A and B are shown apart, each in its own frame.
Chain A
């Protein structure tokens, strides 16, 4: 079955440590996205990538970094510079960004807790 996988489902880290969240898709989609969800909030865009080896900052990129070395993979690193990293992180993908009709498909998410 085609889809998006995120691992792990729950992640715990100590303050000051960098942590990398995994996102893999086998939908052959060009575009991939990372969103953050906080309680009582909608999703907010962290980073997005339209093609391999290219990515752009979203609305709340500070304290985060990404890479896109393969079409299928778009890992997100939460660095120690992120002041409030505890949140639910969702990865998404779409066929491409050029058309409005391309819906975004979401992974199951990773709950990150930093203490």
Chain B
């Protein structure tokens, strides 16, 4: 079974600084997708960024970028120029073709210090 591990239950960063959230996963599949979702206090799940396993180029979305290391099965999220609105739970998720749904990690609580 696939598993997703987020080893940092909580992270804190100063506003305008850069922070990196870690995620590792375990799979024997070669074709899959990885996602980072944000869950603010409203509890609405919002897709932040996604990465296709067969693409070597790391995905970027404005201030958000990933470091995808396929051999190491690592998928970290970097948030640059952190803003107060970035404060939330961040979940790493994995999906393979034919899977029932997404497999989620337990999340990292990101605190932004003003």
Contacts and interface: CB of A to CB of B under 8 A. Distances in A.
Interface of A: 33, 35, 40-45, 48, 56, 58-59, 88, 90, 92, 97, 99-101, 103-106, 108-109
A41 B45 CA distance: 14
Interface string B77-92: 0000000000000010
B4 interface: yes
A43 B44 CA distance: 13
Given A106-B44, A109-B43, A41 B106 contact: yes
Nearest to B54: A100
A100 B33 contact: yes
A111 to B, nearest CB: 8
Interface stretch (B12-20, B59-67, B68-76, B96-104): B96-104
A103 B43 contact: no
**Which of the four size classes fits the interface of chain B?**
20 to 34
B43 A43 contact: no
Given A48-B101, A100-B52, A101-B33, A42 B4 contact: yes
A58 B1 CA distance: 13
B101 A45 contact: yes
Given A42-B105, A99-B97, 13 more contacts: A35-B101, A42-B91, A42-B107, A48-B101, A59-B100, A90-B45, A92-B45, A100-B32, A100-B95, A100-B97, A103-B50, A106-B44, A108-B43
